[in-house]
Amino acid sequence: MPPLFRKLLIANRGEIAIRVVRTARRLGIATVAVYSDADASAAHVEAADEAVRIGAAPPRESYLNIDAVISAARKCGADAVHPGYGFLSENAEFAEACASACIAFIGPPPAAIRAMGLKDRAKKLMAKAGVAVVPGYLGAEQSLEKLSQEAERTGFPVLIKAVAGGGGKGMRRVDAPDEFAGALEGAKREAQSAFGDDRVLIEKYVTRPRHIEVQIFADTQGNAVHLFERDCSLQRRHQKVIEEATAPGMSKSMRAAMGAAAVAAAKAVNYVGAGTVEFIADASEGLKVDRFWFMEMNTRLQVEHPVTEMITGLDLVEWQLRVAAGEPLPWKQDELRSRGHAIEARLYAEDPQSGFLPSVGQLERLRLPQAGDGVRVDTGVRENDRVTMYYDPMIAKVIAWDEVRETAAAKLAEALSETEIAGVRTNAGFLVRALRHPDFLAGDVDTGFIDRHRDALLRRPPDAQLFARAALLVVDDRGRRARRNDPWDAQDGFRLASEARETIELACDSARASIVVVHHRGGGLRIEISGQPVVPLTHAGAIRLASGEIAVMAEGNSWIFAVEDPFGEDDSAIASADRLLAPMPGKIVRVFARAGERVKRGQPLVVLEAMKMENTLVAPADAEIAALEVAAGDQVDGGAVVVRFVLPRDSAAT
């Protein structure tokens, strides 16, 4: 039997590109990767049968460049394009460009993309089709006065949401009228940057919201089915981090009602292919059939599609390819079954300790969980790859399946606890703690879960055991150098008449310790911290980074220790007092302050855009601004000085 398509170009990158390659190869379809200059040696390029360069690192010059992608497809002779998710996957113009080039687009028709691509239009369509929508304002007038009035009419708290996009970009929660203008300005600016459209809508904020979505599929013969639901309520910065199928606490009647609403939504726009209909449910009194509303439809495959695959045993990419080739859906609704429970965790390069700011750098250590026994790992990076400022900071998706939800959660937590990543900050330990939290295990989840339990979910400060493990690595490093070099250069504290002793000064976060290492004359050593002996279990999971710092990894966490020179000048207090640094590379999009202004602790000073999200940098303390080192539009490196403060007199040099 001939393949569905001869050659498939994948207009995406990272783990989703590799995921599509895997299915296409099984179906006998040749694959073509595209890449930017930043991705020339990326894993997805190596995974495909061939690859074509499409431009420079910024997405608008490569992965979002329709002409470049179509040109690449023509150049390699592809007869189909799979857009993955993100980038051009929900772009009707791209789908039309594929059709004009006589290339099959693995996705819905352009008309369906347009119908669901703008949230205000989609909600009006759904209301007309009899699907309940969240109360709010969907009008065309976008003045501050009108939007403020509509927010008051809807009733605070409200959500401001970008009309043209998703993924938490262009979204702000507003709790009071005096916060509205500033939130609206930020939402519009972020929406314009992400989607080229700054229009917003106003939506009532549900106080105990559950984010539940339904996977749907439709074919060209008019058939449509749902493949059950996913709960995506665990979110930070309005972006999902843990998803599961099926939703905890979902009754059969509500599942049937929500599934029917999702299918009705698809049929209302003559949908074809894979899509996800997202609902918001009020969980204040448990899930009820009359307490869920249509939120939006994503006209593509979702990041979290693996949990649906694991409970159904189906390959959704294969379904996409078959439907795009004109075949009917492989299964009818009454033939579909779900089994067990699956949970996915998104492993990101980000720092939960710092408000989940993205982290960039080289993956100097990358040890992901082993796949098998109900554990699946989808990744698009390898050890020594770089996480850059240009793209989403996802490192991997780790998914676990089991017959019982609690066992699936335990299995996933155990897999993530084995993860070792150094060179960037990650949320691995945070995910482990979330999966083991009693409320999560009890199914008591909603979109406020992370904020409610933030203190319990953040990483603990380093203890003596962790300091000892870092010190042991320093000792080993010095021993190796001593064996290679002149013994007179050794730093092992050698003494003629007594045991050798050396002191190692280490700092991690705001903690510091002086570690005394005693080398026994008969061999072996003893480590003391504050006069108390500490026996390090091992220094496995501890590595020296290129920066000279030491990363100690355990239970998915990574603590970074600096080896301090006891005779060096400690300017850290001055550094933190007289300057504000960019936490990552990015673009300055707004400057609020001016030289000479006195600012209060927590006052917004600069807005930095990085990895498709805005990050507001605030004053670390009450201070006077000495100088602004940046202006709107500037590109800055991580660690660059953004603002200088007047140094307090009591900390100035004398």
Residues tagged active-site: 300
Amino acid at 467: F
Within 13 Å of residue 419, how many CA atoms lie on the same side as its CB? 32
Q: Following DSSP, what letter does each residue of 322-387 receive, concatenated?
A: HHHTTPPPSS-GGG----SEEEEEEEESEEGGGTTEE--EE-SEEEPPPPBTTEEEEE---TT-EE
Distance CA 129, CA 562 (A): 60
- Residue 519: which H helix or E strand, with range? strand 511-519
627 and 578 in contact (C-beta within 8 Å)?
Answer: no
Distance CA 339, CA 311 (A): 5
Q: At CA 470, angle to CA 466 and CA 471, rounded to 5?
A: 115
CA dist 585 → 96, 308, 362 (Å): 35, 36, 14
Within 13 Å of residue 14, how many CA atoms lie on the same side as its CB? 22
426 and 359 in contact (C-beta within 8 Å)?
Answer: yes
217 and 319 in contact (C-beta within 8 Å)?
Answer: yes
Distance CA 279, CA 250 (A): 13
Number of residues that make up the chain: 654
Give the dihedral sign, CA 588/594/596/597: negative
Supply the DSSP symbol for 91: -
Q: Facing residues of 204 across strands?
A: 158
Q: Facing residues of 555 across strands?
A: none
